[in-house]
């Protein structure tokens, strides 16, 4: 299978599964506009490569490796969308296809450079979905500006990170990375939310509203925009 097709499959499965649920081949076929039979065949091939686990009737579930590739591609896709809209001034409704075509050829270094140039955006322009974090071993975007991209020890595996908003009620995890400027970071620092602090999700308000979390024994409400840029390691 070509790299492009593999990535397309993995990205689609990740966005359909929303992190947890196994995805049926029919759903994948519908999303990609392909015949179910050929999808089943491809999924089996991907399972052989160890990128996903497939059980007939239940569906496909990404492995850690598969998830890593998928979130990398979604990140590139969404960053490219931002680039097409913010810099080139294209219509938000028209950039999806273009980004789909470009995402597979963008190198990791170019991806980070793009992210820096766009000033570390948090969401993609067409449907407001969170852009997954990069693989740099940094704890804030301010730090990213200082480091050398070619140095391999600055890179880290971030496939297990989730935005705070994706934590289920009652679930907890450790803060790993906060996207955004220095003042946002310091504000969160001052309420005691620093790297490796344990946070617990208490409530999520309706209509993409804020979340209530507990940190160091205190309850705080964080707006959705802030919370979706705090990445948690479970």
Partner 1 sequence: MGCQNCNMLDPSGKCDIDRLEREPGTIYIALVGNPNVGKSVIYNQLTGAHQIIGNWPGKTATASRGQLKFEDSTYDFADLPGTYSISSDVAEERTVGEYIAKSTPDVIVNIVDASFLERNLALTLELLAMGIPVILSVNLMDMAEKNGISIDFEGLGKLLGVTVVPTTGLRGKGIPEILRASRLLAGKEVASVEKPFHTPRIAKAIMDLRGPVERMFPHSPGIWLAERLLAGDDELENMVRAIDPSLLDVVRKKRSELEREFGDLISSILASDRHAVAAGISFKTVKRSVQTKTPVGEKIHDVLTHRVYGILSIVAIAGLSFLFVFLVGDYLATIMINWFDSIQPSFVSLFSDPRLGTFLWNGLLGGIFSVISIALPYLLPLFIILAVMEDSGYLARVAFVMDGLLHKIGLHGKAFIPILLGYSCNVPACMGCRIMETERERILSIFAVTLVPCAATTVVILGLVGTFMGIWWVLALYMFNLALIAVLVRFAGRFLPEKSTGLIMEMPPLRSPSAKIVLRQSWFRAKDFVYIAIPLLVIVGLFLATVQYFGWLDAISDAMSPVTVGWLGLPAMTGILLVFGILRKELTLVMLGSIAGTLNFADVMTPVQMIVFTLVVMLYIPCVATVGVLVREIGTRKATTITLFEIGFAILVGGIAFRLLTAFA
Q: Which residues bind partner 1 (CB under 8 A)?
A: 137, 139-140, 142-143, 182-192, 194-197, 202-210, 212, 216-226
- Please state the closest distance from residue 131 (CB atom) to partner 1, in A: 17
Nearer to partner 1, 118 or 202 (CB): 202
Nearer to partner 1, 26 or 119 (CB): 119
Task: Please check whether residue 104 is in contact with residue 3, taking contact to mean a CB–CB distance below 8 angstroms.
Answer: yes
- Please state the closest distance from residue 141 (CB atom) to partner 1, in A: 10
> Rounded to 5 degrees, what are φ and ψ at 69?
-65, -45
Q: What distance in Å separates the CA atoms of residue 54 and residue 65, rounded to the nearest whole number?
A: 14
- Please state the closest distance from residue 196 (CB atom) to partner 1, in A: 8
What are the structure tokens assigned to 215, written together?
């940190």
Q: What distance in Å separates the CA atoms of residue 192 and residue 71, rounded to the nearest whole number?
A: 29
Q: What distance in Å separates the CA atoms of residue 124 and residue 119, rounded to the nearest whole number?
A: 13
Nearer to partner 1, 25 or 228 (CB): 228
DSSP at 67: H
- Please state the closest distance from residue 164 (CB atom) to partner 1, in A: 13
- Please state the closest distance from residue 143 (CB atom) to partner 1, in A: 5
Q: Where are the beta strands (DSSP E) in 115-195?
A: 161-163, 172-178
Nearer to partner 1, 50 or 168 (CB): 168
Task: Please check whether residue 158 is in contact with residue 133, taking contact to mean a CB–CB distance below 8 angstroms.
Answer: yes
Q: What distance in Å separates the CA atoms of residue 210 and residue 165, rounded to the nearest whole number?
A: 9
Q: What distance in Å separates the CA atoms of residue 3 and residue 147, rounded to the nearest whole number?
A: 29
- Please state the closest distance from residue 148 (CB atom) to partner 1, in A: 14
Nearer to partner 1, 113 or 191 (CB): 191
Nearer to partner 1, 67 or 158 (CB): 158
Q: What distance in Å separates the CA atoms of residue 167 and residue 176, rounded to the nearest whole number?
A: 14
Q: What distance in Å separates the CA atoms of residue 56 and residue 182, rounded to the nearest whole number?
A: 49
Nearer to partner 1, 49 or 203 (CB): 203
- Please state the closest distance from residue 218 (CB atom) to partner 1, in A: 5
Q: Nearest Cα to 47, choosing from 95, 6, 5?
A: 6
């Amino acid at each position: 299978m070509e790299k492009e097709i593999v990535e397309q499959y993995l990205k689609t499965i990740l966005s359909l599964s929303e992190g947890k649920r196994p995805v049926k081949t029919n759903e994948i076929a519908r999303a990609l506009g392909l015949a179910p039979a050929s999808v089943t065949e491809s999924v089996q091939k991907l399972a052989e490569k160890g990128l996903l686990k497939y059980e007939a009737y239940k569906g496909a579930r990404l492995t850690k490796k598969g998830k890593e590739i998928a979130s990398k591609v979604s990140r590139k896709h969404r960053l490219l969308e931002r680039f097409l809209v913010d810099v080139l001034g294209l219509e938000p409704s028209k950039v999806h296809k273009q980004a789909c075509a470009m995402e597979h050829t963008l190198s990791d270094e170019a991806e980070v450079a793009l992210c820096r140039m766009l000033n570390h955006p948090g969401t993609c322009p067409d449907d407001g979905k969170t852009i997954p974090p990069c693989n740099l071993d940094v704890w804030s975007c301010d730090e990213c500006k200082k480091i050398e991209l070619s140095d391999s020890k600055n890179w880290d595996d971030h496939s297990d990170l989730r935005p705070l908003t994706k934590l289920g009620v009652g679930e907890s995890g450790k803060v790993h990375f906060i996207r955004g400027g220095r003042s946002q970071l310091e504000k969160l620092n001052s309420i005691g939310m620093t790297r490796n602090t344990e946070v617990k999700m208490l409530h999520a308000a309706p209509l993409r509203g804020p979340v209530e979390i507990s940190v160091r024994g205190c309850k705080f409400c964080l707006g959705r925009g802030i919370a979706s840029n705090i990445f948690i390691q479970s």
